[in-house]
A and B are shown apart, each in its own frame.
Chain A
Amino acid sequence: MARRLLSLAALGSAIALGGPARAEDALAAKVAAPAEAPLAEARPISPPAAAARPPAIPTSGLDRAPVEPGDPARGAASVLLYPPRRIVELVFVATGTAAGLVRDEQFVPRIDEILSPKPGEVSVFPFMFFESGRAPSLGAKMIAVGQNAAASFAAGYGPPQDGLAEGRIRIAAPRPLPTVGSLEALFDRRTQLTYLGVGQSPASDRRNQFTPGLEGGSARYLEQRVRVIGSLGVRAAADLSVFLSTSYVHSRTDESPYDDELSLKDVFVAGTVPGVGSTNLVYSELATRLDTRKTLGRPSPGALIEGYGGVGKAPDSRVAYFRAGAVFGGYLPVVRRSNILGIRLVVDGLATLSSEPIPFASLLRQPEFRGMDNRRDRMSAVASIDYRWAFARYVGARLFVDGATVGEGPIQLVTVAPRPAFGFGIDLFSRATEIGQAAISWSPDGVRLLLSFGVSTSTHDRQHSY
């Protein structure tokens, strides 16, 4: 799934299926889950309890509560503010329910996270989301969490022609090694995707064959996908994870359905953009990640090294490619351990294994780049410098600078000027996970607003990002 630019669970009321009826009880139940009682067999010491002696009158002895000046107005305003108050509550209920197991990233929880008791409730909540290439959409999401297992189903619609349906099942096993297996299926249709051509500067890249007079133009197209992902992740050591994943994607790309926009056939010479039409692709990947940070939520010192290699092959054509990449990150405390300077470099490469050109939709993109992610090519590098500092227990801020290049080969990566983006953001996080992020970035291509809630946007995850 393409990277979320903004995913804001919002609107309406949650329907708690099998959950506590009262809001306070629901929260209490969510905060506290059943556990085995240590020393539960300890013998009772107290004498038998007294017979029921409910007081005949309220403990307070009040017949009538006092009314203070302004109370009626406060009551009226409380009614007015009920919807936003309820939305905030539901966002947290949904996020808390989903924490740990249902996430949009490759992640194997540490063993203590797997062993944490789960509330065992089913929640359905409406949400709205804004995503790159998709019309603003409304939908509903159901999350069910059991002991070491979770499932979710989401469906949404963005007028007039965009849609999404997605189901996920994740199962975790704490022993002998923390392991997570997942199966996901997605159908979606996006009608507002953009293709500029390949290269860091598509307008001047000789590989792009523009229609005369439209050099450097931006073409709109639609893509309809059916995608299935199976993955298995094992935490082989405290900081070392290994992932094996396979995906099958049936994709159909076509011209923009909107008459008032330039389509692929308008901007590019017919037949020069490979992969327009239907494609089928199976991509399998093995990745290992060493991440010594204590948590991905709050600013934490440590190091990150990740490497992966994968093969993509079309079952019905000769398209085949090899993909490999690496992520290097260092996170250093500055003055305090809650101030972290992070430096990260993400390098990806794609090599064709046949004479068939790689479909343009499968070329590398740059979801880690916080400017406009609208360049594609066979090689990509994104360098980032983040300074994060906590200024409240679970709230932090960040300043960041990114630089991104794409190219046909490694030489182009280092010889072309990177596209810069710089920005500022606020992070919300719990002890273990990132809860939300709001950031704004500036780049020569424009201003981008990044909002997320309950979903990490910083993890390098090819299967969902492409």
Chain B
Amino acid sequence: MRPLRLAHTISVAIAIVAGTPACTRLPARFTDAPPVRDAGDDSPIPQPKPLEPLDAVYMTEAYLRRPLVEALEPERIPDARDVNAQDEVPRSSWFRPTAPDAPGEPLHAPTHGSPVSPLAAPATDLADDALTVRDARGVAYLLVRDPPDRPEMATGASVVASHLLRALGWRTADTTILEIGRKDVVPTPPAPRASAPVSAAPYEAAVEAFFHPPKGPAADRLRVAAIEWPPGVDLGPTPALGTRADDANDTVAHTDRRTLRALGTVGSWLRLRRFGPSTLRDVYVGAPGQGHVVHALVRLDAALGARSVVRPQDPNEHDPEEFDSVRDFFTLGLASPVRAPTQTRWPALGDLDDRLLPQDARPSPPLDPVDRALAPDAYWAAKRIAALPTATIAAAIDAGRYHDPHVRAELLRLLEARRALVVARAMAAVTPCEVDRVEPRRAVLRDEALLHRAADAASTAYSVTVLDGAGHALAPAVGARAEAARVLVDLGPAIDARAPYFVVAVVAFRAGKAAPRRFEAHFTGGPSGPRLIGVRH
């Protein structure tokens, strides 16, 4: 809501007016300890209460209350609180960091693979493009089918996005492509109670609607994405605000979690904007009283532009997320829609192209943590995206089982092109350096942007300042250049001053323009030489 930015600007202006000359910058200070590698948030807890949002309240919160309240909050958005001293997200119930070339850890082990028929359909509360079933082994699945006019689109997107997000470290439900027959699915109402007989009609109607959608032909067999969910007790949507009050392991406000904040960047890459209550889910895994909550991404069939398709017959069916508020206000809503119909050459591809749209990074409905994402959060996600080998992306596309090889090739091209754009954008917002190694009198930094060809080495320079723990310069700032994406930083001023704690502050300049944020490497001094204890971006 753009107008609220004005209110926020005013509230910040009040801050400036009310402010004293308090312009001192005091750097952070890290504990001299190894970085936390495991958040340890899988301690046994009693099963929390399942939650289900009130749709109207959820939307009102997202679109009205929170923007209004935050417009009146001039305090700076805090840094993410689920990151360690290396500015990385440690292993947790939200995230499983993996090596760049690893496929990612499954949500649970062992995986069950495809469902075994017959499939009992015991729920009716979903739209007609999804169906919850339980297979002959008792394993629960969520089946998602394609829209009738775009075969393979939603199912393929669901699988590809699930594999890619898992490779990046997020916890995603196992998702596979399979074909099921109408006769394999048995409508199954819950067991009747003596006082309340249960009609089978709604369950039969749900199955019928799944195989015979209102805008498409009836099908005896369907290609579906089978999402193995829930692998325990479904606790409902992951709250976007605060924490789960009945989960003792949940100690970081969700708005301050980088794993959630960074979804805007990942979503921008995959053109995935739906992170609503059906996508971000909590599940209690383990025996009752012995388990813990795992936070997972479940329904990803909106990825790859699958939910952004503009059909030729409905260009005026305005996606309410894509209001151009100023234009629509002053034209009384009569301005022509700006989006062209989606290509129809490859129906298996959604509305995906090699451009980044402004709304690509804005989930719909809004997700509070994403709205509070800071440049380091986006950089962290971009760094992981950049590190994914092309082979991993290709393997994810293969898992989508697209029949047309041209679709696979085009999808790979688009994902590579979008990856380059996302990475370049995120890395331009920070000084994207990491400490490669520390030597007795110097540190070697690695410029991730140069490493991933997101910036030009010839036009890049760095300003390096060595500060003491209170932020005072120990020597004048010096310039530096990168060679093979590495920057050498002289730690001599701090060592010669015997500083027990010092900070190397680096600002990248691309074509003469300073990066908006500096990189900080924090060291302790001592007889054994400088030791890196923390970094900030």
Interface residues of A (CB under 8 A from B): 20, 22, 24-25, 27-40, 42-78, 80-81, 84-85, 88-89, 92, 95-96, 99-100, 116-117, 119, 334-339, 387, 389-395, 397, 399, 428, 430-433, 435
Contacts and interface: CB of A to CB of B under 8 A. Distances in A.
A80 B18 contact: yes
A430 B59 contact: yes
Contacts of B323: 390-393
A78 B291 contact: no
A32 B53 contact: yes
Contacts of B72: 81, 84-85, 88
Contacts of A92: 60-61, 64-65
A389 to B, nearest CB: 3
B24 interface: yes
Given A48-B287, A77-B18, A60 B236 contact: no
Contacts of A20: 245
Contact of B50 (A40, A42, A64, A390): A40
Contacts of B334: 334-336, 339, 389
B25 A45 contact: no
A46 to B, nearest CB: 4
A65 B80 CA distance: 12
A84 B140 CA distance: 47
Interface string B282-325: 00111110111010000000000000000000001110110101
A31 B53 contact: yes
B28 A65 contact: yes
Contacts of A71: 22, 76
B57 A394 contact: no
Contact of B44 (A28, A36, A49, A68): A49
B19 A76 contact: yes
Contacts of A428: 64
Interface of B: 1, 11-12, 14-16, 18-20, 22-31, 33, 35-36, 38-40, 42-44, 49-61, 63-65, 68-69, 72-76, 79, 81-85, 90, 108-109, 122-123, 125, 132, 134, 138-140, 230-237, 239-245, 252-253, 284-288, 290-292, 294, 316-318, 320-321, 323, 325, 328-329, 332-334, 337, 365, 533-534, 536
Contacts of A78: 15, 73-75
Contacts of B109: 45-47
Contacts of A50: 42-43
B28 A64 contact: yes
A98 to B, nearest CB: 11
Given A44-B291, A47-B286, 17 more contacts: A28-B241, A32-B52, A42-B230, A44-B288, A45-B109, A53-B43, A55-B36, A64-B26, A70-B16, A75-B75, A78-B73, A85-B69, A89-B69, A99-B56, A339-B333, A397-B329, A430-B64
A77 B132 contact: no
A141 B329 CA distance: 35
Contacts of B245: 20, 25, 28-29
Contacts of B241: 24, 27-28, 31
B333 A73 contact: no
A338 B333 CA distance: 8
A417 to B, nearest CB: 29
A431 B56 contact: yes
Contacts of A55: 36, 38-40
A119 B53 CA distance: 10
B24 to A, nearest CB: 7
A75 B18 CA distance: 10
A391 B38 CA distance: 45
Given A31-B239, A44-B286, A336-B333, A67 B26 contact: yes
Given A35-B51, A53-B40, A76-B15, A67 B24 contact: yes
A63 B30 contact: yes
B59 A38 contact: no
Contact of B24 (A54, A65, A69, A393): A69
A61 B333 contact: no
Contact of A117 (B1, B33, B43, B54): B54
A433 B334 CA distance: 24
Contacts of B287: 44, 48
Contacts of B23: 69-70
A395 B56 contact: no
A48 B286 contact: yes
Given A38-B125, A63-B30, A117-B54, A89 B22 contact: no
